[in-house]
Amino acid sequence: MQIYVCVKHVPDTAANIKVVGENGFDDAGCKFVANPYDEYGVEQAVQLVEKNGGEVIIVTLGKPAAVASIRAAMAMGAHRGILVTVEDQFVDSQITAKALAAAIGQDGKADLIFTGKGAVDTEGFQTLYRLAAAMNLPVVNEINKMDMADGKAIVGREIGGGARERIEVSLPCVLGATKGLNDPRYPKFPDIMKAKKKPVKEIAMADLGICADAPASELLKLEKVPERSGAKMLEGDVRQAVEELVRVLKEEEKVI
């Protein structure tokens, strides 16, 4: 099987984000990781190839530093990587998807494509749908269960309120992974060393014939959300504190 996994290089969710200028952030000063949801996709792909044979290829669009997330995914068992390089910090999902589709199309024939359910930096929740449309493939997102039979994938997904769906989707397809699908492995030291020698092909986005001018969605402004500055403590015995809480929530905050 030839399985492609789209992995985005994103700031760690625990990292502090320092806004720079109108619509940028200090990416040199913050720790980056492979998007956590994409790791479930990597693990699933590696397990499928361990069982059925084949190759797992990581595809990333980002600045040159994003190669670190490709290496991390290769340490988990992926075979090689493709890095589509851009200069911008933010590339909108319509352009990203077209570039990812072009990079995959140019590389080979996909039996399956995994992504994460969403990127934890820009929280777009759509790139995989656009990728699927660009490649004329079906797509299912937020899968936490997967089997394959009769040329189909049978996937499970949660739809809120504890409800679950079971979905049949024809292959090849694009699947967005989320927690519950598997337990992503922690690479061991020798795997990390081996990953350094695995091939990564770099392609500039412009060389894929994708134009990044005039995006349909454009980040105008990025603003820090002010942190809460500490709680107002409600004093007294339990009964007093709770009565005061109910009063404040009702009369001042008007949330109950």
Q: Are 44 and 181 in contact (CB under 8 A)?
A: yes
Q: Which stretch binds another protein (CB under 8 A): 46-54, 74-82, 99-107, 242-250?
A: 242-250
User: What is the DSSP secondary structure assignment for residue 251, as one 8-state letter?
Assistant: I
Supply the angle between the helices 93-107 and 127-134 in degrees, to the nearest 10. 50
C-alpha dihedral, 149 to 74 to 189 to 33, nearest 10°: -110
Bond preceding residue 172 cis, omega within 30 of 0: yes
Q: Is 230 in the site for another protein (CB under 8 A)?
A: yes
Shortest Å, Cβ 211 to another protein: 14
Query: What distances in angstroms separate CA 246 from CA 60, 233, 238, 252, one per listed residue?
Result: 50, 13, 12, 10
Max distance between CA atoms of the chain, in angstroms, equals 69
Based on CB atoms, which residue is closest to ligand AMP, 107 or 244?
107
Q: Is 162 in the site for another protein (CB under 8 A)?
A: yes
List the interface residues with another protein, window 32-91 (CB under 8 A).
36
Q: Which stretch binds another protein (CB under 8 A): 1-9, 108-116, 192-200, 223-231?
A: 223-231
Q: Is 58 in the site for ligand AMP (CB under 6 A)?
A: no
Alpha-carbon gap, residue 38 to 177, rounded angstroms: 7
Based on CB atoms, which residue is closest to another protein, 28 or 231?
231
Shortest Å, Cβ 79 to another protein: 27
CB burial of residue 141 (10 Å; 0-12, 13-18, 19+): buried
Q: Which stretch binds another protein (CB under 8 A): 68-76, 81-89, 155-163, 190-198?
A: 155-163
Specify the 3-state DSSP secondary structure of 140.
strand
Q: Is 188 in the site for another protein (CB under 8 A)?
A: no
Shortest Å, Cβ 97 to another protein: 8
Shortest Å, Cβ 68 to another protein: 18
Residues that bind ligand AMP (CB under 6 A): 6-8, 35, 37-38, 60-62, 93, 96, 100, 115-116, 118-119, 122-128
